Chain A
Amino acid sequence: KQEVTQIPAALSVPEGENLVLNCSFTDSAIYNLQWFRQDPGKGLTSLLLIQSSQREQTSGRLNASLDKSSGRSTLYIAASQPGDSATYLCAVRLGVSGYSTLTFGKGTMLLVSP
């Protein structure tokens, strides 16, 4: 059974810092990996999706990397802002088909103070 672990569980940083969120998964036979953002009491917003054949994806100040063989992904946030405060969830999709289900980690709760 696939397990997804996110470290740290919570992180508090001052505005402007660069930071790294970590995600690890036990079964490396993934189809893709996705990073989401969840604001308190809200649904999920997809940030970045990395296919199993890719090493990284970038969107603005966000960069996600994937090391499939070691079962790890990192989400790098540059020049953090208070608006980045949210919970960041990592999810993996197993197998060779995009039709398999997503398995989520518990998330990293990020607080960026002004």
Chain B
Amino acid sequence: EAGVAQSPRYKIIEKRQSVAFWCNPISGHATLYWYQQILGQGPKLLIQFQNNGVVDDSQLPKDRFSAERLKGVDSTLKIQPAKLEDSAVYLCASSLRQGVRGIENIQYFGAGTRLSVL
């Protein structure tokens, strides 16, 4: 079974520029997550989709970040304009479904996109 695919793997941009990341989850997985991971820290949830609807985006800086999941499959995360503090790895994960106790929705992560904002 193919894993979670993310592209690009690396991106270097100047501050105030725009950037977009793409994620293709595991086939059949209804739940998709975007995380931001600062170097050496744990991932922070930015946004969570259930099919093509948003479940949680409470930690998404909505003045500059946006995400969509058209047709409940692929997803894109966009930053516009980027700031220096956005330098991080952006991880996409998917799970089969949501569940009350967490055992029903094992997350599978992509390799991430490493963003450097200069």
The answer on A and B forming one complex is no
B residues at A contact (CB < 8 Å): none
